[in-house]
Amino acid sequence: MIYLDTNVLLYATLSKVDNKSQQEIAISILKELVTNNSLILSNLSLLEYSFVMQKANEDIIKIENAIKLFNKFVKNEQENFNNLINFLNNRNAFKNSFDLYHIIFANSYKCQKLITFDKGFKKFKDICSLEIEIIK
């Protein structure tokens, strides 16, 4: 299973992006994972996705349809909230709590990989067994 950072979902579906090649990569990754049923998402991903899509003034029907599709890949996360609280006892973790949550969530479901465009995820490579692929 593969966990996608929210920015991959956004690049795949936003009407206007800064980098068309990143959008093409995101679309390709998303299509492959949906087709192979190997995608895992969290509720946080959907919340972040909705927020950014609305902020970008995307069509509400488009957002709702995407959420319906993505929701099929969302897994239960109660245990992950408990794990996150333990990690957040480290003061430095608070600066990265959403990114850290994505790591903890994907790691708890034993995903092979987390895919993101966010270079900030480099700092998490040493704290988990999860492969973190940062797309350039």
72-101 pLDDT per residue, tens: 999 876 665 555 555 555 545 545 668 888
22-70 pLDDT per residue, tens: 999 999 999 999 999 999 999 999 999 999 999 999 999 999 999 999 9
Q: Which pTM was predicted?
A: 0.81
Task: List the beta strands (DSSP E) in 27-130.
Answer: 39-40, 113-116
CB 130 within 8 A of CB 108: no
Q: Which domains does the chain possess? A: 2-134 (3.40.50.1010)
Which residues, other chains included, contact 25 with Cβ-Cβ below 8 Å and sequence gap of 6+?
11, 135
State how far the Cα of 103 lies from the Cα of 124, in Å rounded to an integer.
8
Contacts 24+ apart (CB under 8 A), 20-27: 22/117, 22/135, 25/135, 26/117, 26/135
